[in-house]
Amino acid sequence: MSTTISTQLFVGLGPLDRELVDPYLAAHHQLVLDPTEEQLAVAEAAIVRAAFTVDAAMLDRMPSLKVLARTGVGTDLVDVAEARRRGIPVVITPGTNTVSVAEGVFAHLLSLVKRLPTLTGVVRRGRWAERGNVTVGDLEGATLGIVGFGRIGRKVAQIAEAFDLTVRAYDPFAEIPEAYRCADVDEVLTASDFVTLHTPLTAENHHLINETRLAVMRPGSILVNCSRGALIDLDAAHAALQSGHLAGLGLDVFDREPPEHHPVFDHANTTLSPHLMGFTDRAMALTIRAAVEGAIAVLDGRDPAAVAS
């Protein structure tokens, strides 16, 4: 005797590409994008994009929810504690955009070291004779400091080795090779020509890089942030750029997104990207797959690969 499996409703919260989700759904799964209130009320699984807020009020609208799958690892906009209180696991997808973000760090770093925005302007405006006024640097032989040595930090270190960079790193929770290891953030900053941030945002490290920390960085150093916008005090970073103490600033993330305009955006030695370094086509496909498979695992009574703690 055949057993009929009831339909399980998945809702997309935030923009989702159906073509990336459908291949991993079974016949008894139904995906709804832009759900109505009635569909939210009966949804058993939600696939949540990074910029979508899921708070207690949103959870109230989904009383049948059994799992919430977040695309990515950051849960700044998800009330994980409230979801847990209601017995709803929050699936996350670590590792799916590791390579993309790490490559994005080097896209910013190389652009700043090689002065690509400035040199583009020299050619574009027909000022070839000014090229000798621009100092172009190299990565080889320099030191890259990594604050946060999780998956992305480790991948950055691996790529750095290929550029013949010396690596220094700090993370109070991760295992770090002895040759890289620093005792604290300040040791990383003082030892490095370039610094990249890969640490979660917590109350303790809000404005981790502030006026005091910028002052201990090497004169002429470059700072890249593809982690969380609020790790850097932009006012202090702007002042350091203007004084020349900081030679370059690469930003993919911002305290508020989209950000309000800040004077640092107009500085010639700033490179900017709209939080897209981790959202390549390949990374997005891997992230969506992991989120969907994690949600299905929960619905099937299995443990998902990763959940927010």
Of 70, 154, 213, 228, which residue is the catalytic one? 228
Of 275, 282, 293, 302, which residue is the catalytic one? 275
Q: What angle do CA 306, 207, 181 make, to 5 degrees?
A: 65
Structure tokens at 90: 């929050």
Residue with tokens 């950051």: 74
CA distance 146 to 192: 9
Residue with tokens 């609020």: 230
Strands 194-197 and 166-170: unpaired
- 204 part of the active site: no
CA distance 151 to 153: 6
Bridge partners (DSSP) listed for residue 181: 169
Give SS3 for 124.
helix
Residue 93 has, within 13 A of its CA and on its CB side, a CA count of 26
- 228 part of the active site: yes
- 131 part of the active site: no
DSSP string, 224-258: EE-S-GGGB-HHHHHHHHHHTSEEEEEES--SSSS
Of 288, 301, 260, the C-alpha closest to 50 is: 288
SS3 percent helix, strand, coil of the chain, rounded to 5, is 40, 20, 45
Of 130, 161, 211, 257, which residue is the catalytic one? 257
| Residue 99: CB atoms within 10 Å | 19
Residue with tokens 């290929």: 162
**Mind telling me the catalytic residues?**
228, 257, 275
